[in-house]
Amino acid sequence: MNIQLKNCNIDLDEKDILANDIVFPHEYNPHRIRLWVIGHEFGAIAAVWAEHEQQAFDILIDENLGGAFLIDCPEPDIEYVHLGNAGEPCDLENAWIEAVDLEKQGIEFLLKLAEARGGCYDNLDF
């Protein structure tokens, strides 16, 4: 599925775009929930719905989409960021995150989001 960011377009597998809390523009959204695309130096990993960057990374780890950031054997003298409900140690040195402007997305993507929300799907792979 193609997602337009500020400076580029990215392609993500539909299974990597979560439908956990879809909110469309001009809907009541007091917590400012947005779609966030998260990636690293090799490209985009996933897109999740969250209020802010920290919550987006937490959701990414909790949904088992952030394996690229997990540290298997943390060294005791290095401080790591702990993400997700389990507080998994992660290395975010090469991570990037960007909010998606839904008003600049194609109709195919928006229709897929609407269908996912209406069907209560976990992601766009249905």
Instruction: Give pLDDT, residue 62.
Output: 97
Instruction: Give pLDDT, residue 92.
Output: 95
Instruction: Give pLDDT, residue 4.
Output: 96
Let me know: does 39 contact 96? Beta carbons within 8 Å.
yes
* pLDDT tens sequence for the chain (126 residues): 999 999 999 999 999 999 999 999 999 999 999 999 999 999 999 999 999 999 999 999 999 999 999 999 888 888 899 999 999 999 999 999 999 999 999 999 999 999 999 999 999 999
Instruction: Give pLDDT, residue 74.
Output: 85
Instruction: Return d(Cα 48, Cα 55) in angstroms, integer.
Output: 9
Other Cβ atoms within 10 Å of 120 Cβ, number: 7
Burial label, 57 (beta-carbon count in 10 A; 0-12, 13-18, 19+): buried
Instruction: Give pLDDT, residue 75.
Output: 87
Let me know: does 45 contact 66? Beta carbons within 8 Å.
yes
